[in-house]
Each structure stands twice: as structure tokens, then as C-alpha cells.
Structure 1
């Protein structure tokens, strides 16, 4: 079963979208491509496509979770037009097969590379990406990587209910111990550039809980009949950090762009 089974609605509503500055970096990376095409692997509910659709004329999103894809189609349908094709494939990054003759100017993998067989996926992209194209692996930090006092409090409550180790659905999360830039550098897309885009967000207790329920480490099924107790405890801890139900977050997107040798 998918680590995100049943979480698509939470994901669509509560996961922060892709900031315009990140979308601009990605679009600029393939500005020289005359007929720009986009492949978004692990597309989820289509957040990358929603943010990045304007410069592209042919877009494919792929994800193995059918519930996610249904929402992605709904979310992205308004951006399709006679001059812009948007299609979705129910496939993992490892099993995705591009339509005959189709090539990507840009491949995006956002907040999903840690779930993939990384070297295998990058190798499989070599025949799909245009010679002047790029692969972008990017994401921001999750709440698990606590960078503020209120986030530390949230993580402590999760650990109180589910144990010290980060969950991943029915199992535990296996951390990758190598920077993604190193993995890219060993792939066909070995010319690597890193770009960092800071982002500041404001949360409420409701949006924090919605975000947590979209994750593999705090999905509602993990709590069983203790879900209401978990929610009450989160609200209690958050209230210790704000009297106005507002919680500021400083985060950043780290973008790794990989290309073939020029």
C-alpha cells in the first residue's frame, strides 16, 4: 500500500505550493529550449504543474497513487488549452515509459526523490531528456526537520504517540546519507548547479494539523483510535508558542539542476 494512501485530499489542501521564485528558476533553466516540454515525476496532486505550466506546451505528470492523480487532473485541468497539452500517467518514476518519440526539456522531482531508486531513475531519464534539457531535484524541509521551537514541540508530540523513529506508513523511514547533488553528479546529468530560494510562511493550528495528516510520518491511520487525543495534544503544545494561533516558519527550497556536458 502507498505511504500516502487516503491522504490526497490533505495533500492537495495543506501542502504548501511551489513559490513563484522557484518556478522561475526552473523555467529559466530551460529558457533556450524552443519547444518546452515538462515531465513531473512523483507529481502528487500536481503542485509543480500548477506553478510551472505557463512556459511549457506539453506536460506529463506521473505518480503511482491513483487518488493523487485524480486530484492532479482536477487541479491542473484549468491550465490545459489547445496550445498546452497536460497528461497524467499512473506510474512510478522507476516504471514510467514516455510516449514514443516524446522528449522532455525539463524533468522535475519535487519532495519525492527520497522515495525513489535514485540512480536507476536518473539512468532511465537519459533517453527521455533533450540534449539541452535538465533534471531538477528540489524540495523544502518537512516539519520533522524541526528548525524552530514550535516545530520541535510538534515533532515531540508525534514521537510521544508513534515512537522516536520517523514513520513511513506502516514502516520506518530510511534516510539517505548522501547529498542529492553527489548522486546527480554520478548520473548522465553530471553538470550540477545548486540554487537556494528562501521562503517564509505563516501557519495556524488547523493548517499544521492538515499538513501533518498529509505526511507519511503523521498520517491519520497511524494513530488509530488515538487520533483525537493526538490532535488535542498538538493544539495544547502549539498554544504554548502563540496566543494568536499564528506560527511563523522560515524554510528554503534547495534546487539541484543536473545537465549533460555541454
Structure 2
């Protein structure tokens, strides 16, 4: 539920996304709608000759959908446990999983040559985006580019009764206020767009939909966002307590705004 400090990267920040967190991440992290992936495919003209690199890939929620649309995809993540889970779950044979961080982009260029696109799904807030955009420019082919996905507002920051109840519960549990949006707020989106515009032609895309959640998915989504050392020791009791807090606010309808910034070379 945190954010990166100035100058931090996936390589230099211990996100705590390992161990039991990976199971929650793989099971409960929301995937990306086809319309969002297809918007990027169309923007860059991606096809059977292209390779896509997905930075901060986690367990492959974005890597695998792109792999189905191109020649090959490369998922890059600094957490070995994430990559191990991605390998077990992937249903696409044309995916390679690489241990690495955003700082490894120049080395990837030496290995891969030019690629059709570099994607970042709900992970750019952990990276030095200005340095990354500079490094990516020579890696992508003309007409290709960078796509930054923000997969909705965090569960605990939405404008609903159940989300406000969740936020109060988690702030008490963690002993801190929860205000960081993981890049979903307009101010941060504009910062990304401005930095991207230094090297690429920028466009914004939006895919909107509503989803109905249950308590299991809300709890799982929360646990997938906690570092491993912050996971509750008694998860059954944690779930019961959170269910009691949430239940008066049912149904749990979520508006999901998938925002995509594309930078075309």
C-alpha cells in the first residue's frame, strides 16, 4: 500500500511481494480487460512480428494477454517468487520470465534488439519514470512505444461506503493514513504524461466498467497489496473482523477506470 521514494526503483525498494503475498496477488489481483490491451495493440500496430516487454510483471496479469497478440512477451520482475508463480500459471507458450528491474532496460535492449512495446501495469509508482522513459526510447521500434496502465483506484480509496469503511479499518490496522493512489490520481497521471512527452507522442485511453465484489475478493485484494511482514498472523480473525465492518455496506460495487498512457515513438 506504499509508494516509492524519490529516485527509487524496483531494484532498490523491497516491496515485500514474496512468500504468501504472491498467492493472494495471483488469485485476487484484477486482470486487465481485453479492450484495454487491444487499445495498445492498435496504438502501436502490434502483431505477429513483435516482442512486448512487461516491466514489473508480477504474476503476469498483463504479460499473458499481450503474449496472445504478438510473437513473444517478456515478463520482467525483481521478485523470484512472483516469477515462479507466473511460470506455473501461464497458459501462453511464447512468454519468457526474466528476473530484473526497470534499471535493466538497457541490458534488455542488448539481448532483444528492438521491441514493439514496453508495458508497465500498476507498477510505475515503484520506478524512476523519467529515467525509465529515456532508457526505453531506443529500445522500441518506430511506431512502437510505452504503455502505462493504471488498473483502477485502490479498493480503500474509492467513493463508496464500503470503501470508506475498509479504509478506516486498514488505517487502524496499519497505524497510518492511506492516501497514496498507486499512480491513479490525475496529478500523478499528468506527471507521467509530461515526462513521457519528452520522448514520445502521448495519448490517453480510458476503459470503464463496474464490478461486483464479495468479501473474499476485498480481503484478498487487500492482502495482495501488503508487504509480507504486514500480513495478519491470524488471517481468519482478520477476515471475520473485516467482514463485520463491511457487511452493513453491501453490495460491494466497484467502478473500475483503467487508464492507459501511451507514448508512441
| TM-score of the aligned structures, taking structure 1 as reference length | 0.85
Matched residue, 1:259: 264
Match for 1:135 among 135, 146, 160?
Answer: 146
Cα distance in 2 for partners of 1:252, 1:220 equals 28
CA shift for structure 1 position 19: 0.7
Which residue of structure 2 lines up, in the alignment, with residue 62 of structure 1? 76
**How far, CA to CA, are the matches of 1:32 and 1:86 in structure 2?**
16
What is the CA distance between 1:51 and its match in structure 2? 2.0
Q: 1:238 aligns with which of 213, 232, 246?
A: 246
**3-state secondary structure, aligned to 2:103:** coil
For residue 192 of structure 1, give the secondary structure of its aligned residue in structure 2.
Answer: strand
| 2-structure distance, mates of 1:52, 1:248 | 28
SS in 1 for 2:111: coil
What residue is the counterpart of 2:52 in the other structure? Answer: 38
- Greater CA deviation, 114-123 or 175-184? 175-184
Q: Does 1:111 align with 2:122?
A: yes
Q: Which consecutive residues of structure 1, in runs of 5 or more, have no partner in the other structure? A: none
Q: How far 1:45 sits from its partner (Å)? A: 0.2
CA distance in structure 1 between the partners assigned to 2:145 and 2:231 by the alignment: 41
Decide whether the 8 Å contact of 1:41 with 1:107 is kept in 2: yes
Please name the residue that 1:75 is paired with: 89
SS at match of 1:144: helix
| Secondary structure of residue in 2 paired with 1:202 | strand
Q: How many residue pairs get matched?
A: 244
Cα distance change of structure 1 residues 112 and 163 upon mapping to structure 2, 3 Å threshold: same
Kept after mapping to 1: 8 A contact 2:77/2:101: yes
1:232 Cα offset (Å)? 2.6
CA contact (8 A) 1:161 1:230 kept: no
Could you tell me how far 1:102 is from its partner in structure 2?
2.2
1 CA distance for matches of 2:46 and 2:82? 32
Q: In the alignment, is the contact (CA less than 8 A) between 2:48 and 2:69 conserved in 1?
A: no
For the aligned residue pairs, the C-alpha RMSD in angstroms reads 2.4
Q: Structure 1 residues 203 and 137 mapped into 2: Cα distance closer, same or farther (>3 Å)? A: same
Which TM-score applies when normalising by structure 2?
A: 0.84
Q: CA deviation at 1:89?
A: 0.9
Tell me the equivalent position of 1:213. Answer: 223
User: Which segments of 5 or more consecutive residues in structure 2 lack a partner in the other structure?
Assistant: 1-13
Q: Which residue among 89, 96, 102 is the counterpart of 1:93?
A: 102
Instruction: Please point out which of 122, 134, 140 is paired with 1:123.
Output: 134
- Determine the C-alpha separation between the residues in 2 that align with 1:71 and 1:151: 29
Q: Distance in 2 between matches of 1:115 and 1:101?
A: 24
Spell out structure 1 runs of 4+ moving beyond 3 A.
173-178, 223-230
Q: 1:220 to 1:92 in 2, by over 3 A?
A: closer
1:155 and 2:178 correspond: no
